[in-house]
Copies of this chain bind each other. A is one copy, B any other.
Amino acid sequence: MDAPLSELLEFLRYPSISTDPAYAGSVAECAQWLYKKFLSMGLSATVHPTAGHPVVVARNAHRAGLRTVLIYGHYDVQPVDPLDLWTTPPFEPRIENEIIFARGATDNKGQILSHIQGVAEMLRREGELPVNLIFLVEGEEEIGSRNLGKFLQDNREALHCDVIAVSDTGMIGPGIPTLTYGLRGIACLEIKVTGPAMDLHSGIYGGAVANPITVLARMLATLHDENGHVAVDGFYDEVNSLEPWEKEVWAKLPMNDAELIKLTGVPELTGEAEFTALERIWSRPTAELNGIGGGYQGEGSKTVIPREAFAKLSFRLVPDQNPQTILNRVKTHFEKVAPRGVRVEITLGHSGAPYLMNPGSSHGMAARRALQTVFGSDVALIREGGAIPIVNTFREMLGAETLLLGLALPDCRAHSPNENFPVENYRAGIRLNQALLRELAL
């Protein structure tokens, strides 16, 4: 195993789960590992504490007259449950058939480290870079980059740049270079329904008191109409239609319903019938239930009317929906449908706006040339359904567009058990980094 690969396995061993306070120590250790890696490459580096998890910044010695490129990524990962569905432990990376399995392999440790290794190799071979470079690697992407906005605000001058590059998205298929020019936004919300002061015997009291689970289910059932549209007043008011060229280009992409069924394992695809599956994922907003709980969940039965029930919701948003506006409309919706006999508590969570850039801009064209050079085939222009809220903050705070050069494959299982990343993609990322820096330098 060569150094770049064994270093990736080292990086993957940190259980840097940002959402769970129990893992705060591992997140901090992972940041330290990155810091040392940057120093060893000959870059200057700093671990910046924040109100949450630290941000790691590294840079070469900047020279006047060169373009400044900021490469962004994150070293934090999603939780791992359900743990029993992992073939091997999520933080004990293994390589099987040239595929790396571990939590974070694709999202985002494998991808950001390929850029770091690209720069390391270039510096080792050529002694310098063709651009002024800034690496910005944060530890809170999976929890909405809570403290990065303030960090950018406080370090606006030091982080000034011409363009930003991020590999945290996907390739439309193996070997097909892909530029993502749009992302959905996100807005999260939690709802809790409380009824009796304690779990009640469902025989002794059933019929006279509201059941919090029943109330919650009925409230959640009002989220969609029978055609799969979100039934919150005003939800679609700011949704833009697709450009004709987008529908045309997407229809030709090597991704179809059969492939999506294979990737997800669902019996069939569902959703808004007037859009193709890709259009639904990339250009239409959604309301999803990410978690629900209440009452007895153990073996057998326990005949209680539970004290409370809760659900965790997230909304995927598209241009020009505003996360705060949407959250307020959803809150109003639930307050309106909340029945008597219970207490309903709604907590707004993290959010990020949708993103759209012009793939025909000069930076966009540079990225497309670099992709074409490394992969040797036509570049697919796509949007993605996931959120990288920080790209909007970059635009606002640093005034720069973000190039999304994804290296993940559709079956990389980001956020799922058995997350993985092909060794080949990791190596392609190293070459892509070098081609990109050269193209952007021109």
Contacts and interface: CB of A to CB of B under 8 A. Distances in A.
Interface string A331-346: 0000000011111000
Interface in A74-92: 78-79, 81-82, 85
Contacts of A281: 204-208
A305 B271 CA distance: 14
B306 A290 contact: yes
Interface in A251-286: 260, 263-272, 277, 280-281, 284, 286
B300 A143 contact: yes
Contacts of A214: 220, 223-224, 288-289
A213 interface: yes
Interface string A120-149: 000000000000000000000001000000
Contact of A340 (B195, B203, B213, B270): B270
B266 A341 contact: yes
Contact of A201 (B79, B217, B293, B416): B416
A61 to B, nearest CB: 38
Interface stretch (A64-72, A383-391, A396-404, A425-433): A383-391
Interface string A290-301: 111111111111
Interface in A208-237: 208-211, 213-214, 216-218, 220-221, 223-224
A186 B198 CA distance: 22
A381 interface: no
Contact of A199 (B19, B82, B224): B82
A198 B265 CA distance: 8
B213 A289 contact: yes
A45 interface: no
A289 B384 contact: no
A300 B143 CA distance: 8
A314 interface: yes
B203 A265 contact: no
B312 A295 contact: yes
A243 interface: no
A296 B304 contact: no
A118 interface: no
A54 interface: no
Interface string A415-429: 111100000000000
Given A266-B342, A290-B304, 11 more contacts: A198-B417, A204-B415, A209-B270, A216-B217, A217-B220, A218-B220, A218-B224, A266-B341, A290-B296, A290-B305, A292-B292
13 contacts: A81-B296, A85-B199, A143-B301, A202-B314, A207-B284, A208-B270, A210-B266, A213-B292, A217-B311, A268-B340, A289-B295, A296-B312, A302-B415
